[in-house]
Structure 1
């Protein structure tokens, strides 16, 4: 009920508004969730659960790492596109969430960190299962532990930019965005750049006196 209320009211809705739209009272919400950060966490867990069910179904039929990764990216973008209000609610700090709920050293709020940590664990589990099945060494498994957080950062940043872009003729569809992100994660962008190999400008160095 709370998720449906947020879908209609938007991520900035107050606990009063969400409770009323869900057909209950604010004290009931506080008894179950504690505060808005608790509600964020609970809604985020529902979203994660739905994503996990989709990924498990896709993983059962994926024949290659490319198909498995595409399923993960697709599930993420579909979740964001289906209900941008719910996505914004579980991935952003609300205006009435106190700064004390921020993560260590002023980082992201706990509810937000929890959401992306759960998605990262899902990716890690899928990648590790693939690598174990392929006979990768222990050293290779350890080295690749950095990849899932990096991948999530890329998909999140690109996905949120795509989600917030105006609906113009050249805006990629969700399917096109899924394919692009999957390709970038697996092979990078070098092969998509025409002409000579990409050359980065030299970084100027400070001359000695």
Structure 2
């Protein structure tokens, strides 16, 4: 079938409008799902998420494939917001230690603001383990990478190769300690968010400083 030159712009326009509509609808579904998970918990079934969104499971499956796809899509949104907060923390810091502590606090704060959503986007469901594991790993790889750049300023040039391993180790510590902190009931001995961020930053900073050729005499070094 042949099309005249005047047909193409109309077709392209309809395709663009449909793509925009689909993307907007996808964002609406992710937003509704986040609210549902925040309110109902990380174990909430897809049927309840769809009901809370005022639609059906088939609509969610059409846009996201399965629950693992929805988790990955929500994870991208959470990660984007976390990137903004961590980047802002790094920009306003006056020293490497202060930057590290602020970035850890931003991570913990995002997780603490909605533990159900955090658990939902970081867990690996057994039903679709392979696909979800990839999204799960990518989430923490990305958070680890956010912590990397400020630490490059601390290491001497001859030790730059070390930084290739640091984000993985750092994120493992941040995640393990942070999730244990999140799960700990509120009591008089549980550290505040700021205190926990300080503890984790101390552990991480001591480790990275040990690999540097400079002597750390103060956490507030320029």
> Which of the five TM-score ranges fits, normalised by the shorter chain?
0.7 to 0.9
CA contact (8 A) 2:104 2:174 kept: yes
1:12·1:94 contact (CA, 8 Å) conserved in 2? no
Contact conserved, 2:86 with 2:102, CA < 8 A, in 1? yes
User: What value does the CA root-mean-square deviation take over the aligned residues?
Assistant: 1.8
Cα displacement (A) at 1:100: 4.6
Aligned to 1:115: 139
**Distance in 1 between the 2:169 and 2:189 partners?**
27
User: What is the CA–CA distance in structure 2 between the aligned matches of 1:31 and 1:153, rounded to whole Å?
Assistant: 34
Contiguous gaps of at least 5 residues in structure 2: 1-31, 208-222
Stretches of 4+ aligned residues off by more than 2 angstroms: 97-102, 124-128
Could you tell me which residue of structure 2 aligns to residue 127 of structure 1? Answer: 151
CA-to-aligned-CA distance 1:4-48 (integer Å, 9 cap, x gap) = 111011111111111111222212111111111111111111111
Alignment match, 1:164:
183
Pairwise CA distance, 1:94: 3.4
Task: Indicate conservation of the 8 Å contact 1:41/1:114, yes or no.
Answer: no
Structure 1: distance between partners of 2:102 and 2:82: 10
Alpha-carbon offset, residue 166 of structure 1? 1.7
* 1:63–1:81 distance in 2 versus 1, CA, 3 Å: same
Deviations along 1:102-161, whole A, 9 cap, x unmatched? 6xxxxxx12211211111222224434x35xx8x42x42222211111011001111111
Match of 2:206 among 187, 195, 198: 187
Distance verdict in 2 for CA 1:100–1:55, change over 3 Å: closer
Aligned match for 1:141, one of 122, 136, 160: 160
The structure having more radius of gyration, on CA atoms, is: 2
Check conservation: 1:11, 1:94, Cα contact below 8 A.
Answer: no
Q: Which runs of 5+ in 1 are unaligned?
A: 103-108, 189-209
Provide closer, same or farther for how the CA distance between residues 126 and 42 of structure 1 changes in structure 2, counting only shifts above 3 A: farther
SS of structure 2 residue aligned to 1:98: helix
* Contact 2:86/2:107 (8 A) holds in 1: no
Alignment equivalent of 1:84, drawn from 101, 112, 115: 115
Q: Is the 8 A contact 1:120 1:148 kept in 2?
A: yes
Give the corresponding residue for 1:174: 193
Aligned to 2:98: 67
TM-score, normalising length from structure 1? Answer: 0.78
Range with greater deviation from structure 2 (72-81 or 139-148)? 139-148
